[in-house]
Amino acid sequence: MEAVRKKALVTGASRGIGRAIAEMFATQKYDLYLTCHKNSSQLEALGQSLQQQYGINCYCYTFPIADENNVAEMFRNIPYLDVLVNNAGISYRGLLTDMTYREWQEVIDTNLNACFLTCRYAIPEMVRRRQGKIINISSVWGTVGASMEVAYSASKGGVNTFTRALAKELGPSCIQVNAIACGVIDTDMNKCLDREDIGQLIREIPLDRLGRAEEVAELVRLLCTGNEYLTGQIITLDGGWT
């Protein structure tokens, strides 16, 4: 009889950190639920590739992750989750006074409110089973803040506090909640920076390079397989930068 595979949901999985996390879970033989906002063809291609290569089941969804109706519909197809990874995120670079309220709302919705929605629907079954891990992908800007990225910093600061508070709420149910505060990771989100800006950043990082998406995925793996006493933590992964 085939063993029941673990199940993980990864939001924002079509590229970058989310894609690397999905690939990591596939190597660990998890069945996967993957979301993205717009890159449906890219996500579907990833899902098919992971199914063929690792013999897992992979279900792909394309919708704005802060849309409750779509989130609720997706969870009707998810019997339970062993791991929820809230990775979907967007940034806005520019002066706060140049930002529209709609742009502000979009950042907060995608980076913070979506964490509420996915957790809201994942938690009941985790509590019933008395097991589960929630991992939120955050940023060092959520701790120290960044000029020209006020909305992004505020949203990630919210994610950090959300993580700490939810960990306390769910600890009695044996559910661990942690966040990874990433530094500068070499993904498309940072492609808008020119070579000079990237060079300046690298000079400020003690390890003298950008982080890799695969390194974030490896830390997610450790959080899923390691210490059962670790919860409510914001783990910084930034090469010693901040």
The answer to whether 82 touches 132, Cβ cutoff 8 Å, is: yes
Q: Give the number of other CB atoms < 10 A from CB of residue 28.
A: 15
The answer to whether 32 touches 58, Cβ cutoff 8 Å, is: yes
Q: Give the number of other CB atoms < 10 A from CB of residue 32.
A: 27
Q: Give the integer Cα–Cα distance in Å for 66 and 88.
A: 10
Residue (of 205, 161, 168, 167) closest to 186 by Cα position: 205
Helix (H), strand (E) at residue 177: strand 175-182
Q: Give the integer Cα–Cα distance in Å for 110 and 89.
A: 6
152 is catalytic: yes
185 three-class SS? strand
Given 30, 92, 121, 152, the catalytic residue: 152
Name the residues annotated as catalytic. Answer: 152
